[in-house]
Amino acid sequence: MQLILILAGITLIVVLGETVLWTLFRRQAAPLCFEAEADMCSPRRLNMRALGLFALGHGGTLLVISWVYLILLW
């Protein structure tokens, strides 16, 4: 039970952290994207879709590492 609560807490921290950072970044980056639609800029500019996938992958990896780490060592 304790482990489940800890895992839920870690998941919340990671998801919230990634979401807040991504939202703030997206808000700040939109005018720098140099395109009317900020979703898909050319690769040499800010490729928001690729960056979004990177953030998603980063969060996912952190979650998997945290879960495996805690389940194995708890």
Query: Least distance in Å: CB of 37 to another protein?
Result: 12
Query: Least distance in Å: CB of 10 to another protein?
Result: 7
14-23 — which CB contacts under 8 Å span 24+ positions?
A: 14/59, 14/62, 14/63, 14/66, 15/59, 15/63, 17/59, 18/55, 18/56, 18/58, 18/59, 18/62, 21/55, 22/52, 22/55
Q: Which of residues 31-50 bind another protein (CB under 8 A)?
A: 31-32, 34-35, 46
Site residues for another protein per CB under 8 A: 6, 10, 13-14, 17-18, 21, 24-25, 28-29, 31-32, 34-35, 46, 51, 55, 58, 62, 65-66, 69-70, 73-74
